[in-house]
């Protein structure tokens, strides 16, 4: 089984089953190339975007048409699963469910700025889904009211994903309607009780794979091999030929 993940795995890497080959966040072509290794299943957690082409819906559909189970959760995986579950991709976790049900719609809900793989993908910004889950938990714990939690959530949502941090949220809240003592109480509570929803959903996907709790896909759609598709796989094969898989798996990131 092959899993593409990065920052969402911080704190749960020790839960990886020996049957799971952990690889860097997915980019376009990685799912197709992984299928050539005949995996029992593919898990998508994190993925690249902006500077690197994102994993293509069509390559996931191709994997499903080849009988490979594809599961998604937490970040890019949750987005793609919400878009492709009608074709057989299997979504896992609360974030996937929120996108599936239309509660969440924007990509910036799961996007974040993070450090390189060499230092463990440290988060440099705050994922909106984690801010939502944490502030809701703070309201449930009685630290703030539900109205205050929603106000803080709206302030966090208004910030660009690359600069959104707890510090930036607290600064915005502190200059608004939350009393200073309540803001300090919230800051202290978050320091000890922050909810990492992305990590929780990633852990659930890993558990599903480890326990083989996933379905074999039944592709009831026709996969059209267009010229664009044929050209794409030709380029991906060329990329793979020029990028040997290092010991332990994982294609080197294109452009690195």
156-196: pLDDT as tens digits: 999 999 999 999 999 998 866 788 888 999 999 999 999 99
Q: What pLDDT is attached to residue 50?
A: 82
How is residue 226 annotated by DSSP? -
Instruction: Give residue 223's pLDDT.
Output: 95
In this predicted structure, what is the pLDDT of residue 235? Answer: 93
pLDDT for residue 253? 30
pLDDT of residue 254: 27
Distance from C-alpha of 117 to C-alpha of 122, rounded to nearest angstrom: 8
Domain locations along the chain:
2-105+198-241, 118-196
Q: What pLDDT score does 247 carry?
A: 40
Would you state the pLDDT for residue 251?
A: 34
Segments in the chain below pLDDT 70: 15, 175-176, 244-256
What are the C-alpha distances in Å from 223 to residues 7, 55, 60, 175? 32, 17, 11, 54
Retrieve residue 162's tokens: 């690359």
Phi (first) and psi of residue 19, to 5 degrees = -85, -5
108 by Cβ neighbours in 10 Å (0-12 / 13-18 / 19+) ranks as: middle
**Angle made by CA atoms 182, 164, 102, in degrees to the nearest 5:** 95
Per-residue pLDDT at 132: 98
Please name which of 205, 148, 166 lies closest in space to residue 2, comparing C-alpha atoms.
205
Is 0.75 topped by the overall pTM?
A: yes
């Amino acid at each position: 089984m092959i899993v593409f993940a990065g920052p969402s795995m911080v704190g749960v890497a020790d839960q990886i089953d020996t049957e799971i080959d952990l690889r860097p966040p997915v980019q376009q072509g990685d799912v197709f190339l992984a299928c050539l290794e005949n995996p029992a299943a593919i898990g998508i957690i994190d993925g690249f975007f902006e500077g690197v082409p994102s994993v293509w819906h069509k390559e996931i559909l191709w994997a499903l048409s080849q009988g490979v189970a594809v599961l998604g959760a937490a970040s890019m995986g949750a987005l793609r699963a919400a878009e492709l579950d009608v074709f057989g991709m299997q979504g896992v976790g609360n974030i996937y469910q929120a996108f599936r049900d239309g509660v969440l719609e924007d990509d910036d809900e799961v996007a974040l700025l993070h450090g390189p793989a060499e230092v463990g993908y440290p988060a440099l910004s705050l994922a909106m889904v984690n801010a939502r889950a944490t502030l809701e938990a703070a309201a449930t714990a009685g630290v703030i009211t539900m109205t205050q939690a929603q106000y803080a959530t709206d302030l966090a949502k208004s910030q660009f994903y690359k600069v959104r941090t707890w510090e930036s949220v607290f600064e915005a809240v502190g200059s608004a309607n939350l009393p200073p003592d309540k803001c300090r109480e919230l800051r202290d509570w978050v320091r000890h009780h922050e909810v990492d929803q992305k990590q929780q959903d990633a852990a659930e996907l890993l558990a599903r794979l480890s326990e083989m709790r996933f379905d074999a896909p039944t592709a009831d759609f026709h996969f059209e091999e267009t010229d664009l598709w044929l050209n794409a796989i030709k380029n991906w094969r060329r990329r793979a030929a020029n990028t040997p898989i290092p010991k332990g798996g994982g294609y080197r990131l294109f452009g690195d």
